[in-house]
Copies of this chain bind each other. A is one copy, B any other.
Amino acid sequence: MILISNDDGYTSKGINSLINMLRPVADLLVVAPSGPRSGRSCAFSVLEYLRLVERHIEPGLRIYSCTGTPVDCVKLALNKFCADRLPDMIIGGINHGDNASVNSHYSGTVAVALEGSMKYIPSVALSLCDYRDDADFEPMRPIVLKVVGDVLKHGLPRGVCLNVNVPVVPEFAGVRVCRMAEGTWGNEVITQRNPRGFDMHWIVGEYTNDEPEADDTDNWALSHGYIAITPTTIDVTAYEAMEAMRSRLC
């Protein structure tokens, strides 16, 4: 059984395209947000309760919506529906939009996969670099089936999930396993005057790839027409900095 969630909500085209692709492959349990939850990262609900609504049940496919975050959905699914048997795999997506580089820190889609990894379940985040509601996910079908088949068969290293980003191009140049690019968001605030007479600040931004020359990054792969697969770790220890910190602080 594969557990699926996302951050665009259970009615979005991306998650329903994924359900359609994986229906022949495995039993599916879908627990996804009731509406859009982009940018929620690994947030979970500390002070708010969650509601769970059954949306669709048929043999091999169960779909529930949840009022919480993507991570809430995974926790709820594992604890309410998977007490007897854990999923063979957890998938976040397919996301409407790019989750490469530092976007992976903000992404609720990637958070689904991280939460799966934190439970030692092989997990994958899938994203298409197209934010539109009616984006066409069909070109992703072969890579989705390949990645899912491979992970179901071989698993993933403990604590490692895959962050898969797919460009919108007439034909894919290929598949690259790459590292996360160093990039930054700037010009991140737009302020408007609310009709009721107070300032509203909106978080927006412009992204810059800070190492455009490097050809081993996810940003490079995507901008050159490649599918970018970034193995992503839940162990965020900066091992290479430990010795210097030890000499300075211990």
A residues at B contact (CB < 8 Å): 36, 38-47, 49-52, 68-69, 71-72, 75-76, 78-80, 102, 104-106, 111, 114, 118-120, 146-147, 150, 154, 156-157, 159-160, 162, 174-177, 179-180, 182, 184-185, 187-189, 191-192, 194, 198-203, 205, 229-242, 244-246, 248-250
Chain B contacts for A242, CB-based, 8 A: 177, 179, 231
A52, A235, A240: residue with the most chain B Cβ atoms closer than 10 Å = A235
Q: Quick one: which of B76, B150, B157, B250 contacts A176, CB cutoff 8 A?
A: B250
**Which partner residue on chain B sits nearest A191 by CB separation?**
B80
Q: How far is the CB of A135 from chain B (nearest CB, A)?
A: 17
A185 to B47, CA, bound (A): 18
A157, A176, A188, A201: residue with the most chain B Cβ atoms closer than 10 Å = A201
**Which partner residue on chain B sits nearest A237 by CB separation?**
B179
A216 to B13, CA, bound (A): 45
Please state if B39 and A41 are interface contacts (CB–CB under 8 Å): no
- Given A104-B236, A203-B50, verify A175-B249 contact (CB < 8 Å): yes
Q: How far is the CB of A96 from chain B (nearest CB, A)?
A: 12
Please state if A177 and B39 are interface contacts (CB–CB under 8 Å): no
Please state if A120 and B51 are interface contacts (CB–CB under 8 Å): no
Chain B contacts for A80, CB-based, 8 A: 189, 191, 201
Please state if B179 and A239 are interface contacts (CB–CB under 8 Å): yes
A68 to B202, CA, bound (A): 10
Please state if B177 and A245 are interface contacts (CB–CB under 8 Å): yes
A234 to B72, CA, bound (A): 23
8 contacts between A and B (CB under 8 A): A39-B43, A49-B200, A50-B201, A51-B199, A75-B205, A79-B189, A104-B236, A232-B237
Chain B contacts for A147, CB-based, 8 A: 249
Chain B contacts for A156, CB-based, 8 A: 241
Chain B contacts for A79, CB-based, 8 A: 187-189
Please state if B245 and A229 are interface contacts (CB–CB under 8 Å): yes
Please state if B106 and A43 are interface contacts (CB–CB under 8 Å): yes
